[in-house]
Structure 1
Amino acid sequence: MVSTNKIDKKRIWVDGCFDFAHHGHAGAMLQARQLGDSLYVGIHSDEEILVNKGPVVMKLAERVLAVSACKWASVPVPDAPYVTDPVVMDEYGCFYVVHGDDITTDANGEDCYRVVKDAGRFLVVKRTPNISTTDLVGRMLLCTKNHHLRTIQGREIDDAVANARSGKAKDGLLTRESLEKFETYATGEDGRSAWDGVYVWTDDDRHLRPIVQPSSELVKKTRKVVYVDGGFDLFFAGHIEFLRQVSAEVEQLSRQAGEPVGLVVGVHSDATVNEFKGLNYPIMNLFERALCVLQCRYVSHVVLQAPYVPTLAFLDTLPWHTIKVYHGPTSFSHGVADPYAGVKAAGKYAEIGPHQYQDISTETIVERVTSNRGLYEERQRRKGWKAAAEDELWRRHA
C-alpha cells in the first residue's frame, strides 16, 4: 500500500471492524466519502477486535475484501489500530476521521476517538439505525423471523410506491425511508451523483417497475447486460468474489462487443429464500440485502423480488439485452430442480469457476456463530455493558 505524508483535508479516514458487509457499514463509508474526494478505510485486526470487543465472525481477509468492494472506499488499510491514531492517518495523508453519532470505546472503556477529537480532526455523521453486527448475531442466536418482509404483489405495487413517497407506508419493503436509502445507495463512486437503477419485479403480473431511475450515462452503458441472481444473505466473501469475477467477465465481453456491458443483479424475496433455506433464513431481509448489493462497485442495476427461475420470458421483460446469465460454483439445494435449465438450453448460461471463498455460505457463517455460542453470547453481553458505558460518555460530552 502506498502512503503519503502530504496531508489533505479532502482525503478522509474512516475505520472500524466491518464485521459483516452490512448496509450500516456501507452507509458510514458513503457519508464519509461525501465529505471528501477520496476515502481511506482502516480495518482492525482480528486480534485487536478480540481484545476490545470480542471474537470476529469474518476474518481480516474477508473484511478487507468487503471494504474493497464498496464503491465509496478508495483505499483499504488493513491492521489499523483500534484506537484511532493521528500518526497512522498522517501516513496516508488524511486530516479528518469520520465516525457515527455514537461513542465507541476500547477494552478500558475509553473513547476510541479521544485523541483525534482533542486534535480537532473528528467529523460526525449519522449512524445507520436498526442494523449492526450485534443485531445480526442476535438474529442467528435467537432464530428470529420478525425481520422478514412481505412480498409485494403487482396489484398493490403502484399504491405501495405512492404510499411510500407520501410517507403513509410505515413498514415493509417500500417506505419513504427505504426509497430514500435506495436512492442514496444508488449514487456513484463520489457518493453524490445518481448512477445505479433499482427495480421491483412482481411475479404475479410478471412486470418490472423502476423505483430508482439510473443515470442517463449508465443507461447508455448498459444496453447489453449479464444477469446474476441469488439471496445474497449476509453478503459475504463468496458473494463478493463471485461478483468480482463476473465483473471481470463483463469487461471482457465489453471488449469483444466493442461497447459497454452492464451487470444486473436479481435479489430474491424473503419468502423465496425461506422457501428453499427454511428455519429463519434469510438472516438479512430483502431491504438489507439489496442495499448490500447496491453498494457493491461491480453492480449496475438491482432487481428486487427477482424470480427464483430466470426464465427467458423474464429476461425478455428486462429493459436490456441480456447476453449471459452467470452462476457460481455452488450447488443447488438437494431435490431442487435446476433453475437455469431454460437459459442453459438457450446457450445463455455461463459459470464462474472455483475460487478461494466458494465453500463459504450463509449456513457456514451461521455455524461459525452457533458453534461458538458461548463466545458470541459473551460478546453480546459485553456489547450491552459497553453500550451503557458509551451512552454515559455520550451524555457527558453532548
Structure 2
Amino acid sequence: MLQARRLGKALVVGIHSDQAILENKGPTVMSLDERVAAVDACRWATQSVPHAPYVTYLPWVSHYGCKYVVHGDDITSDSDGNDCYRFVKAAGRFKVVKRTPGISTTDLVGRMLLCTKNHFVKSVRKTLAGEEGSGSPEERKAFAEDLLQRIQDYATDESGLQRGPQVWTWLGSGEAKIDNKVGEAGSFESLVEGKGPKPGQRIVYVDGGFDLFSSGHIEFLRKVTELEEAEGRRRGWYEPEQREKRLQEFNEDYAPAYIVAGIHDDGVINHWKGLNYPIMNIFERGLCVLQCRYINAVVFSAPFTPSQPYLEAMPLGTPDVVYHGPTTFIPLTYDPYSDPKKMGIFQEVDQHAFQHVNAGEIVGRILKSREAYEARQRAKLEKAIAEDLVKAQEQGSSA
C-alpha cells in the first residue's frame, strides 16, 4: 500500500467480501468489518471500498476515478486459475511493485500452528547494529540496513514521501522492562527524526504489545484520537479563529493531540503471555503501528510498566495523558499504571465494538478451524505453483 500510494495522489483500496475470498482462496481469518477497519486506519489509504470484486474489471476501476491498478509482483488467480488482473493488464492500466519483504498471512498461520519461537528478537539495538540474528556478519549487516530502511519508509506521512512519525528505541534494563518495582528513566535513542509536536498539541502516551495488529488495537487507538478531539473541542481547538491562527502560522491545520505509542519487547510479552507469544516480533509489530494514521510517534522496547521516571524522561517531556483499555488477555497481580494514576494523568478507554479482538482471539480462530486453514494452505501451495507457471510465461512472452 505504501508503494502504491507513492505512485499517485490518492489510493483507493478494494476489499473482497468474506464469501469471495472463501470461494477463490479459502476461509478468512478476519471478518470484512475487521479488514475494513485495518484499511481505514492505514495512513496511506485515501478510501476503502468493501465488497470489491475478486476479479478486477475496468468499469469498477473507472467508477472510482482510478487510472491504474497496483499489485505486487506475484500472480493472483481466481478459483478457475485465471489471472485476477487480466482485464486491467490488457488495457495497460496495471502497475507492478516489488512485494515488500517480510511476513505473510501464511507465515503467521504457520507460527501459530507450529508454536515456533525462532522469530523472536532479543535486542532491537543489537539487531539494527547487525550484531544479532542469523547468518554471517555480512548478511546480518545487510539485513539490519534493510530493516532500518523499512522503518524509515514506514515513518512517512500520508503521501508516503515526506517525513512522518518519529521513532525511538528505549534503552533500559531487562528488569525495568518487566518488573513493576524497578522504575528507570533509561535513555531514548532516535531511529527516525520525523515530525515533532506542534504548539498547543497535547502529548499522549499509549503502550502495548500490538501483536497481530488487529481491529481491537486499531479501534482503541481511534478511540484515543476521538477522546482527544473531544478534549480539543472543550479547549476551543476547533473555533474558527483558532483554526485560522494555525493556518496563518503553519500553513496547515493539525490535530489537537500528538500520540506516542510504546511497543514492548518480545521477551517482555512472552514473560507475561507464555507459549510462543508474541506471534509477530517487535519489528513486525512496530511496522504495523507505524503505518497507523492514529499515531504520531513510536517507542520500541517500551517497559511493560510505564513508571514515573520513564514517563518524565520521554523525549517530548512528561505526557499530558496516558491512555489504556481494560486488559483481559493477561491476568495481572498488580496495576502497571499505578504511577500514571498517582501522577493524575491516566485515563481508561471504554469498551468498544472490537474489544474482544486480540492476538489470543485470532489464534483461537485459527486453532478452532485448523483443518480448514491447513487445507487452505495446501490449496494455496498448489495455486502458487500454477501462478508461478503463469508468471514465467508472462516473463517469457515479454522477453
TM-score > 0.5 by shorter chain: yes
Residue 241 (1) aligns with residue 219 (2):
yes
> SS of the counterpart of 1:208?
strand
Deviation at 1:174, TM superposition (A): 7.9
**Is the 1:332–1:338 contact (alpha carbons within 8 Å) kept by the matching residues of 2?**
no
**Could you tell me how far apart the structure 2 residues matched to 1:69 and 1:53 are?**
25
Q: Which amino acid aligns with 1:199?
A: W
Is 1:101–2:63 an aligned residue pair?
A: no
Q: How far 1:173 moved relative to its partner? A: 12
1:303 correspondence with 2:281: no
Structure 1 residues 223 and 163 mapped into 2: Cα distance closer, same or farther (>3 Å)? farther
The aligned residue for residue 50 of structure 1 is 22
Residue type at the aligned position of 1:244: R
Q: Name the amino acid aligned to 1:374.
A: E
Partner of 1:338: 335
Cα distance in 2 for residues equivalent to 1:354 and 1:149: 32
Q: CA deviation at 1:396?
A: 0.7
Q: Tell me: CA distance 1:191–1:335, structure 2 relative to 1, closer, same or farther (3 Å).
A: closer
Q: Does 1:381 align with 2:378?
A: yes
1:179 to 148, 158, 163: 148
User: Given the alignment of the two structures, is residue 139 of structure 1 paired with residue 111 of structure 2, yes or no?
Assistant: yes
Deviation string for 1:51-86 (max 9, x for gaps)? 110000000000000000001000100000001111
In the alignment, structure 1 residue 278 sits paired with structure 2 residue 258: no
Q: What's the CA shift for 1:358?
A: 0.7
1:79 alignment counterpart: 51
Question: TM-score scaled to structure 1, two decimals?
Answer: 0.86
Q: Of the candidates 205, 214, 235, which is equivalent to residue 194 of structure 2?
A: 214
Amino acid of the structure 2 residue aligned with 1:295? Q
Distance in structure 2 (CA, Å) of the matches to 1:345 and 1:354: 23
Aligned residues between the structures: 363
Alpha-carbon displacement from aligned partner over 1:297-350 (angstroms, at most 9, x marks no partner): 010000000000001110111122301110013336224321101111221110
Shift of 1:219: 3.7
Q: Is contact 1:229-1:266 (8 Å) kept?
A: yes
Distance 1:37 1:111 in 2: 27
The equivalent of 2:169 in structure 1 is 200
Which residue identity does 2:282 align to in structure 1? Answer: L
Structure 1, 45-54 or 129-138: larger mean CA deviation: 129-138
- Name the residue aligned to 1:227: 205
Give TM-score scaled by structure 2 length: 0.86
Aligned to 1:290: 286
State the partner residue of 2:179: none
Shift of 1:383: 1.0
Identical residues among aligned pairs (%): 50
- Residues 266-309 of structure 1, C-alpha deviations (whole Å, 9 max, x = no match): 00010011111111111111000000000000100000000000
CA contact (8 A) 2:130 2:140 kept: no
| Structure 1 runs of 4+ with >2 Å offset | 159-164, 167-174, 218-224, 250-261, 329-336
The whole-number CA distance in structure 2 between the counterparts of 1:62 and 1:238 is 9
RMSD of Structure 2 on Structure 1 (CA): 2.3
Q: 1:222 to 1:123 in 2, by over 3 A?
A: farther
Aligned equivalents of 1:152 and 1:331: distance in 2? 28
Q: Give a deviation string over 1:161-214, Cα, whole Å, max 9, x none.
A: 8999xx967449981111101111110001100111010001128111111001
Q: How many Å apart are 1:244 and its aligned residue?
A: 0.2
